[in-house]
């Protein structure tokens, strides 16, 4: 929200009061409180008839400093609040003649005394950002509503990223961003998943602790500042430091929650009925059998909305006209080795048999006059389940449990964005604060049921909406995209932005959701989709089975599905790291290579885990430009064997069976011996690919079980021209030393394609 008219004037109808100087302080063992009047106090008489802003500094975690700003403290406090993991941190507080210092770990806030009140945030000796004079303000808008606003400085060359799954430019400088969940598709400034947390390429993050609306002006109202404001009398934000951008994200997810690790099978291929297509069991069976006939391994089959009767979403009951024997149908599908997903949302249409029950028991959101809140968008007379009512939550979960008992394995938790503010909640929550937070409650309710019924290792949802902390309930997908290259690109940059909000796992509708996919976009998006953490074919009016798009589409789907399944040992190990550290599996290049300035604006390529660079192709002619980061050693295309020097741009043309999939120098990629399923024994005869190991360098890799437990270790060192290899937890394996051809010959060694292949069962090898 903009309050100013240029550099000197205030917009008509607005009143802005700035915190001017520190007039007094109060200190406890945990907090430093600053009293900052709206005008300079030169004598005691000036303390009369004027307001002030109270500013409190505290630390919920080491290397995190919280700032709480309020005008009138007595405003009624309504929930909900984010579920934060706070600690009892004792900061160091020092007062000198010119300033106050508040220190948490290596992060400090230095507050100036005198007329020009400012707070400078520093990590060790480096300045991160600053709340300069006239940055903290209390504002009245033309309607008389109050707002609290803060401005933090932007440095020369500084870029801002994040703020949720945003489809606009990856670098947020120059944008106005409103944290307000909306069902706007992938082609607008609206977002399904708004997260009031941004990171900077200077190596810090800022989190506004408000589940309601937060308005950002990122180098827009003031071109050298990030401004953020909230309605009301109080705002709280946290500045988060760390040794690196990754550490900042780790610290943020220490506070807001780590991503839960989804089951291994969820990384396999998902296929959907699509949304508005005609289908019954015969159609579904033809799709599933067709995938088998075309040798395209399928892990999950998804039934979208029309598994239920139209106008009755949700009734949680199979449409008997279309699926007369749902239990037997699911048994037949599961006998083929499939997991089953069904579509749900938190709404109950008036025609649903559940509507009267929910109305009678008061399980729905209400209007202020006590009526049920209803409208006709999406479903006629639709009501919304009130998850702040424990009995409503239990009722909703009971309906889902009956589906789990029938054989359903997971749920696509669609919608959750269009939540009204003119309503009443059972627990008295603020509708404005609940608008975004509802997505958290909705997915928490479903995810927790899956944990209770299936166990933590088997719990997964496919969610569209999110709020802070929703990373604990994976997986999320990117919503309604169109079937073209611009939408494919906007989906990618949204996913990269989303990952910088602590979300570890993300997907998108392969070939686009809306109608109009052609064979070209289908094949290119298939490559991208199967090199994402989660992979699903889904559409609106069109089926998305590969053979509809031609024989080559079948070949592409087969190749990249099997490629992903063969990479499951690598993927699961990366997933373990994601769950432990809060670092996304699909990473913006700047997150992995912050020291390489050329990576800071890249949004058409990404790192898939630590060691794989993916550059999707966004052109029909197969031409792609990509940047290879400056590192020691050479990068190798995993598919073609071609090598690349870092610190350079490349432009190449690829057919549909290839793309830039580059392995980072000095790394190990574990290839499993199975390409038919996502779940298998990753320690059984794996192929261990070794790339660019130099003299006196060591490499280490781990193999995990499907549920994330450590199962094997691989350790390599090159010393005096020889490779020393130690293997623990594997009985039979093959090692591939890429680019190495000078190993002495032996029966178990072969040299081909400029690489050395060694078959062995020994725990120690010296080559």
pLDDT surpasses 90 at 625: yes
Contacts of 128 (CB under 8 A, 6+ apart): 121, 122, 200, 202, 203, 204, 239, 241
Whether 338 and 288 have beta carbons less than 8 Å apart is answered as yes
pLDDT reported for residue 746 = 87
pLDDT surpasses 90 at 496: yes
Examine the residue annotation and report whether 356 is marked as an active-site residue of this protein.
no
Examine the residue annotation and report whether 417 is marked as an active-site residue of this protein.
yes
| Active-site hit among 130, 150, 250, 417 | 417
Task: Annotate 250-294 with DSSP letters as a single string.
Answer: HHHHHHH-PPPPPPGGGGSEEEE--SSS---HHHHHHHHHHHHHT
pLDDT reported for residue 147 = 98
pLDDT reported for residue 37 = 97
Enter the tokens of residue 721.
């021209």
Q: How far apart are CA 702 and CA 705, in angstroms?
A: 10
Mean pLDDT value across the chain = 97
Kindly report, residue by residue over 326-380, the tens digit of the pLDDT: 999 999 999 999 999 999 999 999 999 999 999 999 999 999 999 999 999 999 9
Q: How confident is the model at residue 208 (pLDDT cuts 50, 70, 90)?
A: very high
Helices (H), 464-587: 485-499, 519-529, 551-566, 568-581
Is the peptide bond preceding residue 80 cis, with omega within 30 degrees of 0? Answer: yes
pLDDT reported for residue 398 = 99
Whether 470 and 440 have beta carbons less than 8 Å apart is answered as yes
> If we measure between CA atoms, which residue out of 437, 66, 61, 81 comes closest to residue 254?
61
pLDDT reported for residue 503 = 99
pLDDT reported for residue 199 = 99
Strands 15-18 and 710-719: unpaired
Burial 318-357 (b: 16+ CB within 10 A, else e): bbeebbeebeebbeebeeeebbbbbbbbbbbbbbbebbee
CA distances in angstroms from 341 to 273, 285, 319, 388, listed in the order given: 11, 15, 16, 26
Kindly report, residue by residue over 547-599, the tens digit of the pLDDT: 999 999 999 999 999 999 999 999 999 999 999 999 999 999 999 999 999 99
Q: How far apart are CA 514 and CA 275, in angstroms?
A: 10
> If we measure between CA atoms, which residue out of 408, 407, 281, 279 comes closest to residue 342?
408
550-553-558 Cα angle (round to 5): 135
pLDDT reported for residue 744 = 87
pTM above 0.85, yes or no: yes
| Strand blocks (E) in 188-257 | 194-200, 204-208, 214-218, 225-231, 234-240
Lowest mean pLDDT, pick from 160-169, 428-437, 751-760: 751-760
Examine the residue annotation and report whether 621 is marked as an active-site residue of this protein.
no
pLDDT surpasses 90 at 319: yes
CA distances in angstroms from 146 to 76, 220, 234, 679, listed in the order given: 14, 21, 10, 54
Domains of the chain in start order, with CATH, are 16-158+202-256 (2.60.40.1760), 264-581 (3.20.20.80), 595-767 (2.60.40.1180)
Q: How far apart are CA 103 and CA 120, in angstroms?
A: 12
CA distances in angstroms from 161 to 166, 201, 214, 602, 607, listed in the order given: 10, 8, 16, 12, 16
pLDDT reported for residue 564 = 99
Lowest mean pLDDT, pick from 51-65, 135-149, 298-312, 734-748: 734-748
| Active-site hit among 150, 480, 596, 702 | 480
Share of the chain above pLDDT 90, in %: 97
Mean pLDDT of 273-291: 97
Choice between 747 and 519, residue whose per-residue pLDDT is larger: 519
pLDDT reported for residue 753 = 85
Rg of the chain (C-alpha set): 28
| Active-site hit among 299, 409, 414, 542 | 414
Q: How far apart are CA 219 and CA 618, in angstroms?
A: 30
Neighbours of 724 (CB within 10 A): 15
């Amino acid at each position: 929200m903009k309050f100013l008219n240029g550099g000197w004037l205030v917009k008509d109808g607005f009143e802005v009061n700035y915190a001017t100087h520190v007039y007094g302080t109060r200190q406890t063992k945990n907090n430093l409180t600053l009293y900052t009047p709206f005008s300079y106090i030169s004598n005691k008489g000036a303390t009369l008839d004027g307001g002030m802003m109270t500013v409190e500094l505290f630390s919920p975690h080491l290397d995190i400093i919280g700032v709480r700003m309020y005008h009138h403290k007595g405003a009624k406090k309504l929930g909900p609040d984010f579920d934060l993991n706070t600690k009892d941190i004792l900061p160091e507080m020092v007062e000198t003649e010119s300033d106050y210092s508040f220190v948490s770990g290596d992060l400090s806030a230095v507050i100036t005394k005198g007329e020009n009140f400012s707070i400078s945030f520093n990590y060790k000796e480096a300045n991160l950002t600053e709340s300069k004079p006239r940055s903290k303000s209390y504002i009245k808008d033309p309607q008389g509503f109050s707002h609290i606003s803060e401005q933090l400085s932007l440095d020369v060359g500084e870029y801002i990223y994040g703020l949720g799954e945003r489809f606009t430019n990856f670098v947020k400088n120059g944008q106005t961003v409103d944290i307000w969940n909306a069902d706007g598709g992938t082609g607008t400034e609206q977002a399904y998943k708004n997260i009031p947390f941004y990171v900077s390429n200077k190596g810090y993050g800022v989190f506004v602790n408000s589940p309601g609306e937060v308005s950002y002006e990122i180098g827009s109202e003031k071109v050298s500042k990030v401004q953020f404001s909230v309605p009301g009398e109080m705002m709280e934000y946290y500045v988060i430091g760390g040794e690196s951008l990754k550490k900042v994200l780790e610290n943020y997810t220490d506070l807001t929650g780590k991503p839960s690790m989804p089951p291994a099978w969820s990384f396999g291929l998902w296929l959907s009925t699509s949304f508005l297509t005609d289908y019954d069991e015969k159609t579904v069976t033809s799709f599933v059998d067709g995938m088998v006939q075309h040798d395209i391994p399928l892990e999950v089959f998804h039934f979208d909305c029309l598994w239920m009767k139209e106008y009755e979403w949700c009734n949680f009951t199979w449409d008997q006209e279309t699926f007369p024997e749902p239990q037997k149908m699911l048994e037949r599908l599961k006998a083929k080795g499939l997991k089953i997903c069904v579509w749900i949302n938190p709404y109950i249409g008036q025609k649903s048999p559940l509507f009267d029950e929910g109305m009678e028991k008061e399980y729905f959101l209400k209007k202020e006059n006590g009526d049920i809140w209803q409208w006709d968008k999406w479903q006629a007379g639709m009501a919304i389940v009130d998850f702040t009512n424990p009995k409503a939550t239990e009722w909703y979960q009971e309906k889902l449990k009956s589906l789990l008992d029938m054989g359903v394995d997971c749920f696509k938790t669609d919608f959750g964005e269009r939540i009204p503010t003119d309503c009443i909640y059972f627990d008295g929550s603020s509708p404005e604060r609940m608008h975004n937070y509802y997505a958290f409650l909705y997915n928490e309710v479903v995810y927790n049921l899956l944990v209770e019924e299936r166990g933590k290792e088997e719990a997964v949802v496919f969610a569209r909406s999110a709020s802070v902390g929703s990373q604990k309930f994976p997986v999320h997908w990117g919503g309604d995209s169109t079937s073209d290259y611009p939408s494919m690109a906007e989906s990618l940059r949204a996913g990269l932005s989303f990952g910088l909000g602590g979300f570890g796992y993300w997907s998108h509708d392969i070939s686009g959701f809306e109608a109009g996919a052609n064979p070209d976009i289908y094949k290119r998006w298939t490559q991208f989709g199967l090199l994402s953490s989660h992979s699903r074919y889904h559409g609106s009016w069109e089926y998305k089975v590969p053979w509809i798009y031609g024989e080559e589409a079948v070949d592409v789907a087969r190749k990249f599905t099997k490629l992903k399944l063969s990479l499951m040992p690598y993927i699961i190990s990366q997933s373990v790291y994601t769950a432990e550290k809060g670092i996304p599996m699909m990473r913006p290049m700047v997150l992995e290579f912050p020291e390489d300035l050329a990576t800071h604006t890249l949004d058409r390529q990404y790192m898939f885990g630590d060691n794989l660079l993916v550059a999707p192709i966004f052109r029909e002619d197969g031409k792609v430009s990509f940047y290879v980061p400056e590192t020691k050693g050479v990068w190798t295309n995993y598919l073609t064997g071609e090598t690349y020097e870092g610190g350079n741009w490349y432009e190449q043309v690829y057919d549909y069976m290839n793309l830039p999939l580059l392995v980072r120098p000095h790394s190990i990629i574990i290839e499993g011996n199975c390409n038919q399923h996502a779940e298998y024994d990753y320690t059984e005869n794996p192929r261990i690919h070794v790339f660019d190991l130099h003299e006196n360098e060591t490499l280490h890799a781990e193999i995990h079980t499907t549920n994330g437990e450590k199962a094997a270790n691989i350790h390599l060192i090159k010393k005096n021209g020889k490779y020393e290899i130690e293997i623990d937890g594997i009985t039979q394996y093959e090692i591939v030393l890429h680019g190495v051809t000078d190993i002495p010959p032996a029966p178990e060694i072969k040299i081909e394609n400029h690489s050395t292949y060694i078959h062995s069962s020994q725990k120690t090898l010296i080559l």
